[in-house]
Chain A
Amino acid sequence: MTKFNDEQLKEFNRLVARYPEGKQKSALLPVLHLAQDSFGGWLSAETMDYVAGLLNITPIEVYEVATFYSMYNLKPVGKYMFEVCQTGPCMVNGCDDIIEYIGTKLGIKPGETTADGMFTLKTVECLGACGYAPMMQMGKHYKEHLTKEKVDAIIDECRKNAAANN
């Protein structure tokens, strides 16, 4: 059953309170981020319908927003998502090699998730880290100045953390 817990509801109320009376739809983007973080890293139809109910808007208003913005995942993703930038400035600093290296190491292509559900590899467009290229986003943070060694260390760290949490 898709439902925010008390802490998530508190955050939901904080977000909605920023807008004037009757303009609660304005909270949709931040609330979708909250929902995605709360319900397994992606937005199912059930989740989107739940958000529509909370904001008192129609489900289609949520779907059209969720499908427009690239940060919302409309299908399940791995526990760790590597979003590697591939735009110009990262390209001239070797992002193609990094994307290929991660793909080969994990045995997946961009857009795919490893069979164990641990990693998703995704290529993305400019994330505003051009001076620190090549780079990728992982969850809330950026991993910059990527090298193959750094990628190895990040993957090891993820595996270690996942094992510790199990």
Chain B
Amino acid sequence: MGVKLLLEKAHVPGIRYFETYRKEGGYRAVEKALKQMDPASIVEEVKKSGLRGRGGAGFPAGMKWSFIAKPEGVPRHLVCNADESEPGTFKDRYLMEFIPHLLIEGLIVSSFALGSNDTYIYIRGEYAWIVDILEQAIEEAKANGFLGKNILGSGFDCNIYVQRGAGAYICGEETALIESLEGKRGNPRIKPPFPAIEGLWRRPTVVNNVETLAAVVPIINMGGDEYAKIGVGRSTGTKLISACGNINKPGVYEIDMTISVEEFIYSDEYCGGIANGKRLKACIPGGSSVPILPANLLLKTAKGETRYMNYESLSDGGFATGSMMGSGGFIVLDEDQCIVKNTYTLARFYRHESCGQCSPCREGTGWMEKILKNIDTGKGKMSDIDLLWDIQRKIEGNTICPLGDAAAWPVAAAIRHFRDEFEWHVNHPEEAQKRNYGLAHYADPIHVPA
């Protein structure tokens, strides 16, 4: 049983409410931060912890905090990114739904560290019932003196507001989120200036993911150095993984990043193995944007070493033979799943979610969707595969925000590792339409544990 820092108390009955959360040791981090520490020392602890952004990019959180500009007389803001929309990812929802006070507590400490008196949680619009849960938690915290004016006599004032989005994946990108928070279309801004200099209402702003901000609570309680001892290398602390697809136990798991991918998939403590007695074919380990890996490269690196559930190991081999930790959205595909069809649904997703600002992304995602649909339904040509490759290359790196890359990578990885399956679809149009595929048509069968 690994270390649990975030979800350890998530199943205590009544933990959603202040009274129970407090009784279980909640809000100690706020007391410690506001009574014994100053903002600079909190930033220092977060730096020492090695905490990396849990939304997908993995950027060191303490360093991001240290970039915030402090011009005289200009308010600063902390914004919590709860616009969880990366396919395969549902960890933040779990945290907010079951232990909302952990996020509120992390937000209060972080707001104090950054000097944010008005802090916003931007939550995806579809999580409508979670808005009620968070607003209740905020009211309870306020009623108990942990929010509002002069918190715990420290002189620090803080309010937290929850704003609903309205169905746009792009608003998970921090500058699009800020635009949306200002009541506009979610078009990402050109950087620089970065939000730390000019963010919400052109004021210095830090945008952090839900899980990142919740992790500030154990970091303050135990100290950054202690936190950094958990995990391995630059993958410190714990990570929430939302596991889904063809597994026996889909759900949200907190791991300490020292376990192997094989253990995560097959152990009863986590995914519990592949559903219906099938074999593992492939996996997208960090949310739909990261490269898909065939089973053999997922469980072991190209060098034949065990692959682990952490930032470094998952990206071992670069995009040629590795993938990424990303948001922790772990999508498992069994032997009956069609890579072409799966890639098509993802391409459709990115076409739907492209904001339309940059032509490579706006046009390219539409092209990729159409071509993939043709191949999937037996209407593809062999030259389409090279065309797809060409289009994704022309999107990657040529857009204002990373949505272009996010749309390109899944297509590139699917062709890189499963080109024979695309060719098989082109050569067997009738069988492709009957969805008759599996591992059988592979020239080089994937090796998977029996």
Q: Which residues of A contact B (CB under 8 A)?
A: 18, 20, 23, 25-30, 32-33, 55, 57, 61, 64-65, 68-72, 86-89, 91-93, 124-133, 137, 140-142
Contact = CB atoms under 8 A, between A and B. Distances in A.
B204 interface: no
B67 interface: no
A128 B210 CA distance: 14
Contact of A125 (B75, B89, B352): B352
B327 to A, nearest CB: 11
Given A33-B164, A68-B168, A125-B169, A130 B329 contact: yes
A61 B182 CA distance: 12
Contacts of B184: 25, 28, 61, 64-65
Nearest to B84: A128
Interface stretch (B212-220, B241-249, B297-305, B395-403): B241-249
Nearest to A67: B185
B87 interface: yes
B252 interface: yes
B418 interface: no
Interface in B254-275: none
Contacts of A130: 87-90, 242, 244-245, 250, 329, 331
B129 A131 contact: no
Given A70-B167, A91-B345, A140-B128, A18 B90 contact: no
B194 interface: no
B169 to A, nearest CB: 7
Sorted from nearest, which 5 A-B pairs have the closest CB atoms? A28-B183, A69-B166, A131-B250, A70-B167, A71-B167
B85 interface: yes
Given A87-B349, A125-B348, A131-B90, A29 B164 contact: yes
B126 interface: yes
A126 B349 CA distance: 8
B60 interface: no
Nearest to B163: A30
Given A18-B161, A23-B201, A89-B331, 15 more contacts: A26-B183, A32-B166, A64-B185, A68-B185, A69-B168, A70-B166, A71-B166, A88-B87, A89-B87, A92-B246, A125-B87, A126-B288, A128-B93, A128-B124, A130-B90
Contact of A140 (B129, B161, B244, B252): B129
Contacts of A27: 183
B201 A20 contact: yes
8 contacts: A18-B161, A68-B168, A88-B284, A124-B167, A125-B349, A125-B352, A127-B126, A130-B90
A89 B90 CA distance: 12
Contacts of B345: 86-88, 91
A69 B355 CA distance: 10
Contacts of A23: 182, 201
Interface in B83-117: 84-90, 93
Contact of B85 (A28, A88, A126, A137): A126
A131 B251 contact: yes
Contacts of A32: 166
Interface in B321-356: 329, 331, 333-334, 337, 341-342, 345-346, 348-349, 352-353, 355
